[in-house]
Structure 1
Amino acid sequence: MQRDRSVGTLLREWRNRRRLTQLDLAIQANVSTRHISFVETGRTTPSRPMLLHLAQHLDVPLRERNKLLVAAGYAPVYARRPLEDPELATAYDAVQRVLREHEPFPAVAVDHRWNVLLANSALGIFLDGVDPALLEPPVNMMRLGMDPRGFAPRLRNLGQVRAYLLPRLARQAARTGDPELSSLYEELRSYGAGDDPPTAGPADIAMPIRLCHDGAELSFFSTITTFGAAFDITLEEIAVESLFPADAETTAYLRRSAASSPP
């Protein structure tokens, strides 16, 4: 198990994951190659500042930096509070405001494994007809979009969406070293084959998501918003995906739907 591995072994794994040589890391972090070698082989234990310095240059996620600290005999320094924690009230309010003010267009806040934390009411158009089992917590947006029981059957360009999202998920799993993300990737990859390349159409400004809903074809593109320079694990791992209409017809449809919905 990871807790039984030395700090040097863990650092070497992160360095290899980033495809850096010891010399590469030494130059980036402005330390000697010999020191990197001594740390990785266990001949020396890095100080806490040095360990955090190396972790920063290796772009190690905050939750994994805590594991490095514990492996070296230090106390973890990064907290992980629930999003509803009073100390995160300002950040929680900011996420809710982003979601609310994006209406009548869909938006969702997810954690580092794409599990839904918060969503606005407009996201409901994606949940129409979804198997209730997929809506049991934790609700995973990647699974909703690619599982045949989710809204995948309503995506007009499912192959294109898969061809974009699956490599993205694979890169995220590789970057974070998260085995659950790797397992999710393998699961979602098994749902289809022969995906279309994510090529652009003449009218596309970004890769579209084309969803059939209530007899209409809605087209979206998305943006991702994250907290900058977060020092809390929960905040670092939150991403808000905002979906924007990719054409005038979709804009008009969503505005009409919002206007006809009860307050």
Structure 2
Amino acid sequence: MENSNEHQYLRGLRLERDSIASFENYPFRLPSIKTLDELSFHPNVTYFVGENGMGKSTLLEAIAINTGFNPEGGTFNFNFSTFDSHSPLEKYIKLIRGFQKPRDGFFLRAETFYNVASNIEALDSEPAPGPRVIDSFGGVSLHEQSHGESFWATFINRFGGNGIYLLDEPEAALSPLRQLSMLAHIHELVRQNSQFIIATHSPIIMSYPNAKIIELTEEGAKETTLEETNHYHIMKQFFDDKERLLHHLLNK
């Protein structure tokens, strides 16, 4: 059974526009931020899609920090900093929360996943009672697996349900087959009262049924469908007439 609004942990966000001194500075000059007032999230799965530089990861990062996650990723308990590079956007958004609090959560981002794996190694190198941190990630060092395997091990083992999960470009480490498998596992977690907000370029990842897709463009943020996204149009054009598209690209 899909989540009802009763189990929606994050209902949306509001940009505190009156607190922003100038919309000429980064990240406020990004069209998706400059035109933003409010966004509402789906109780199950919400996607941020768009071309590079439109602000998908910046917006997701701000949501993650406001939700209580470390800017570089991990669970609510991760508290480390490899390089302080996150934008100040989190100071200017207000999350609209649901009535229930999540029991679990994870911020999974491709860009800094190596740092999360290194922090787990550091934590487990210190004597401590109880199980190792890595045991909840499958028991095998994430550094001793390929990028895709470590991503997948985290997703399968550490996402326990009844949680809020923020994913930043998860397709960066996953094959198309694993992306399809990810959809199946997302569905299982949704049935366990979980909510996802995902920034992605992958038409496979963004194909979860009845999800909300928010496309960030030069005109701002708009709700759309999978078939209306530029990502879908380009991939469909490529597979429908690959020779013609390659001819135009390679014979300029």
- The TM-score range, normalised by the shorter chain, is under 0.3
TM-score by length of 1: 0.26
Q: As a proportion of its length, which structure holds more helix?
A: 1
Who wins on radius of gyration, i.e. which is larger? 1
Q: Higher relative contact order at CA 8 Å, sep ≥6: structure 1 or structure 2?
A: 2
TM-score by length of 2: 0.27
